[in-house]
Homo-oligomer: A and B are copies of this chain.
Amino acid sequence: VPKVSQDHLDARRQQILAGAQRCFAQHGYTGATVARLEQEIGLSRGAIFNYFPSKQELFLALAIEVNRRYGRLLLEGGVEAAIRAMAAEDPEWLGVVFEVHGKLRHDPDFVRRLDEASDAARPTLQDWFEAKQANGTFRDDVSGRDLGRFVTMVLNGLALRVVGEEETDVDATLKLLHDAVAPRQ
């Protein structure tokens, strides 16, 4: 029989993830020492280590959440919603995204673990764009693949702006992006 309720455990887990997110966002993966994580989370090593076997695993949990979040963003709401959501995103949270990106390039093991966790249910972006082309939503003189890539580039470029806390006029961005991908009259 567990000593504390499942609710308590879930709450603790969320507390750890939330604090870790802030800590990683502020200091980066390396800069987020266990001591700082303890402080930001408000729990001791013993507690944190009880929920996640290592700092890397804790970070991985955040990375998976990140991946899921942004994978669904465009597919569920469409281009405009994705852009607006991204522009309104919390810079601290987005910071973690790029921190993930950093590890992605240098830590092959991390890449593998992340892929394993996020492979499930990943409908391709390309399919989505091709459907919208057939729809008449997007121009079709450019392949759906390239349309998808272009929109992704703008989204990522926007993300970088948000992370850097640089101001961006979302409506202007949308207007330009629309003229790039909408059917030529």
Contacts and interface: CB of A to CB of B under 8 A. Distances in A.
Given A31-B106, A105-B28, A156 B160 contact: yes
Contacts of A52: none
B172 A180 contact: no
A72 interface: no
A19 interface: no
Nearest to A25: B105
> What is the oligomeric copy number?
4
Question: Which of A99, A101, A143, A149 counts the most B-chain CB atoms under 10 A from its CB?
Answer: A149
B153 A173 contact: yes
A153 B153 contact: yes
A100 to B, nearest CB: 11
Interface of A: 26-31, 95, 98-99, 101-106, 142-143, 145-147, 149-150, 152-158, 160-161, 163-164, 166, 168-169, 172-173, 175-177, 179-181, 184
17 contacts: A26-B106, A28-B103, A28-B106, A102-B102, A105-B164, A142-B175, A149-B169, A153-B153, A153-B157, A153-B158, A154-B154, A154-B157, A156-B156, A156-B157, A160-B160, A176-B180, A179-B180
